[in-house]
Amino acid sequence: MCGIAGSWARRGSQADGDRLRTALDVIRHRGPDDLGEFSWTDPASDRRVDLGLVRLAILDLSPAGHQPMTIPGERFTISYNGEITNYVEIREELRELGDSFVSDGDTEVLLKAWARWGRATLDRLEGMFAIAILDTLERTLTLARDPYGIKPLFYTVDNDHVAFNSELRGLLATAVPHPRLDWQTAVDYLQWSVVDHTDRTFVEGVSQLAPGHLVVLDVETGAMGEPERYWWPSVARSFRGNYGEAVDTVRSLFLESVKRNLRSDVPVGIALSGGIDSSAIVGAVRHLEPDLPIETFSYIAPGFAQSEHEWIATVATALGANSHTVQTSASDLERDLDDLIVTEGEPFGSTSIYAQYQVFKLAREHGVIVTLDGQGGDEQFAGYSGYPAPRMRSLIETGRWAGAAGFARDWATWPGRDRSGMLVAAAGQFVPTKLRGRIIRRPLSPVLDAAALADRGVDARFPLSLDEPVHGRRVVSQLRTALTRVGLPSLLRNGDRNSMRFSIESRVPFLDRALTEFVLGLPEDYLIGPDGTSKRILRDAVRGLVPDAVVDRRDKVGFETPESDWLDRLGAQPADADHTIAFLDRGDGSLTGGLSESDLQWGSGSHWRLINLRRWVALLGIDAN
């Protein structure tokens, strides 16, 4: 696990090397164990490529894992952030083909695989990665990101210079001297609480490579090709066995992924929320390694109705884990707020991210350098409330009207579910995708100035749409979108930045391509029960690994915090709204003005987003006009 940086320049100079070192210094928290730099000038065109890396040593702690790494023959050089969890299997395949290895890590495996198979290597990889690889023969620089976007990769392009970095801050320090706010991204966030749903960022001219994509730069001309998607799982039904066979396969694939993710030369812990997903990981580790000391790290909020402390204790006791917990308060958030905002790099959704921040801090304080996390289980197995609207549409499209009626009735018996709201959402499923953004409406947020938006051509309509949903397979179509485009990418961003803030590698065993491809090919009935049971097949697949009480949970909480109380204590109240959460004066044509008492009826989420954006602009020196 590392942080990468690099650039291409039309006319190379020593200044490019200086900028590289500055970019690496900004992200040094991502890799405190080593720093490497590489420079190559194309003899035919005098174009310069710089690659750099800060290393967090996880596999092969020796200097043999140093990066950037150049293959013998000097054609390929790689700067790579992540972990290839199936590197052992790929290494054995390469050995059978005649390759030899001098290190025990995954970087050399990845580099030699690329030398043999080129971009087809990406189809063989399990794990997480952001890759920059220079080919001096073809004179190309290829950037690639893992299928789910677990590891970040930002870049900016102009005629004379291209730069990339694991974090936005690294680019702001070296390649974007006068950063300006991307208004469209800011409005999507303030109006709809949506982030990381496109390749745009909160800074004009800076893009993030989308999950499952690669992009190629021509070193001679500086031409950057269009990003290409290399992985897009099918959602057609492909499994033809019975339910019991499917349960066994899910269990096997999940255990295999957890086993691979345990490969480490440094201490490993588990982030435990108390829900099914993270509890399943604890149970899987105990099943695979009966004698392994298991360290779990959790956020709790005693006295808060949504606190998970009782479930966390149940799991830890039943599975013999050493449970470490952390509590936080409004004063803690106030103390850490600036660091949290800078850590995240861009504005984010809620104060639950602070709970996660504290969990990773706790893990590092106990000497843990790798954690396993349950992120992705909901998007993989139809969790949350069970994706009822697309499920209703699938049932209706396949002529199962009685099944749809029974599902609507029984689904609503679960805690926190609203039958009438679900039926309205289900009816909305039949609106053509291209029109949905025009129909889904809400009043313009009081923090937005309609005239200023119109002047800049900013669209405040609902910004999301599905990717070509398949008839009768609406749930799995939406899961694919949630896994790769809308939803999970923003959660993975939070996990990456919070873990790397404390120099921890956070691994996510549910995000395994073989597991995803199998699950998306299952009948939807296997994912959502006829009575509205979410994660039906996962519950049955992990039964016996964790206590039945956890498997049979009917509520969904996670790292939820008493956000309204916290914001009240921070001063986000009507009495001082103009002082606390005014962004800029409306008179200068900016995004927002002060809030009145009636404006505050939008709720704590709106307040938080405005506080977050306002402080982020100030801390990073962003021009918001």
Residues 459 and 496 placed together within one structural domain of the fold: no
Confidence of residue 429 (pLDDT cuts 50, 70, 90): confident
What are the tokens at 479?
A: 């899961």
371-400 burial by CB neighbour count: b if 16+ within 10 A, else e? bbbbbbbbbbbbbebbbbbbbbbbbbbeeb
Percent of the chain clearing pLDDT 70 (strictly above): 91
Output the pTM of the full model: 0.92
Residues 427 and 522 placed together within one structural domain of the fold: no
Residues 352 and 401 placed together within one structural domain of the fold: no
Q: What letter does residue 596 receive in the DSSP assignment?
A: -
Confidence of residue 601 (pLDDT cuts 50, 70, 90): very low
Q: Strand order of the sheet with strand 48-55? A: 34-41, 48-55, 2-9, 161-165, 154-157, 206-208
Give the separation between CA 295 and CA 302, rounded to whole angstroms.
21
Confidence of residue 126 (pLDDT cuts 50, 70, 90): very high
Q: Which residue has the higher pLDDT, 59 or 555?
A: 59
245-270 burial by CB neighbour count: b if 16+ within 10 A, else e? ebbebbbebbbbbbbbbbbeebebbb
Residues 433 and 501 placed together within one structural domain of the fold: no
pLDDT in tens, 471-487: 899 999 999 999 999 88
Which strand (E) or helix (H) includes residue 510?
A: none
CB 148 within 8 A of CB 231: no
What are the tokens at 591?
A: 């995004």
Give the separation between CA 525 and CA 407, rounded to whole angstroms.
11
Reported for 13-18, long-range contacts at CB under 8 A and 24+ positions apart, including other chains, are 13/48, 16/48, 16/50, 17/50
Mean residue pLDDT of the chain comes to 89
Task: Decide which of 229, 251, 285 is a domain's last residue.
Answer: 229
Residues 274 and 341 placed together within one structural domain of the fold: yes
Residue 102 in any domain: the answer is yes
Task: Decide which of 535, 551, 567 is a domain's last residue.
Answer: 551
pLDDT in tens, 395-422: 999 999 999 999 999 999 998 898 888 8
Residues 432 and 317 placed together within one structural domain of the fold: no
Q: What is the pLDDT of residue 433?
A: 64
Q: What is the pLDDT of residue 554?
A: 82
Cα distances (Å, whole numbers) of residue 417 to 152, 192, 276, 524, 602: 35, 21, 19, 20, 21
Q: What is the pLDDT of residue 267?
A: 94
What are the tokens at 30?
A: 């991502």
**Residue 313 is part of a domain; what is its CATH number?**
3.40.50.620
For residue 367, what are the domain limits?
Answer: 243-380+484-551
Residues 374 and 425 placed together within one structural domain of the fold: no
Residues 478 and 494 placed together within one structural domain of the fold: no
Residue 211 in any domain: the answer is yes
592-611 burial by CB neighbour count: b if 16+ within 10 A, else e? bbbbeeebbebebebbbbbb
User: Does position 600 have pLDDT exceeding 50, yes or no?
Assistant: no
Residues 470 and 336 placed together within one structural domain of the fold: no
pLDDT in tens, 296-325: 999 988 877 677 889 999 999 999 999 999
User: Does position 190 have pLDDT exceeding 50, yes or no?
Assistant: yes
Confidence of residue 65 (pLDDT cuts 50, 70, 90): confident
pLDDT in tens, 550-582: 999 887 766 677 877 787 776 544 333 333 333
Residue 561 in any domain: the answer is no
Task: Decide which of 447, 463, 483 is a domain's last residue.
Answer: 483
Residues 143 and 100 placed together within one structural domain of the fold: yes
Q: What is the pLDDT of residue 575?
A: 35
DSSP strands (E only) in 256-329: 268-271, 294-299, 321-326
Cα distances (Å, whole numbers) of residue 415 to 354, 410, 532, 557, 558: 26, 11, 11, 11, 15
Residue 563 in any domain: the answer is no
Residues 212 and 123 placed together within one structural domain of the fold: yes
| Number of folded domains that form the chain | 3
Residues 108 and 194 placed together within one structural domain of the fold: yes
What SS3 class is residue 197?
Answer: coil
Range of weakest confidence among 54-63, 125-134, 613-622: 54-63
**Residue 32 is part of a domain; what is its CATH number?**
3.60.20.10
User: Does position 150 have pLDDT exceeding 60, yes or no?
Assistant: yes
Q: Which residue has the higher pLDDT, 537 or 303?
A: 537
Cα distances (Å, whole numbers) of residue 480 to 233, 468, 477: 8, 10, 5
Percent of the chain clearing pLDDT 90 (strictly above): 73
User: Does position 462 have pLDDT exceeding 50, yes or no?
Assistant: yes
pLDDT in tens, 194-219: 999 999 999 999 999 999 999 999 99
Bridge pairing between strands 69-70 and 76-84: antiparallel
User: Does position 608 have pLDDT exceeding 80, yes or no?
Assistant: yes
Range of weakest confidence among 127-131, 156-160, 243-247: 156-160
Residue count (the chain): 625
Q: What letter does residue 124 receive in the DSSP assignment?
A: G
| Average pLDDT score over residue span 145-153 | 97
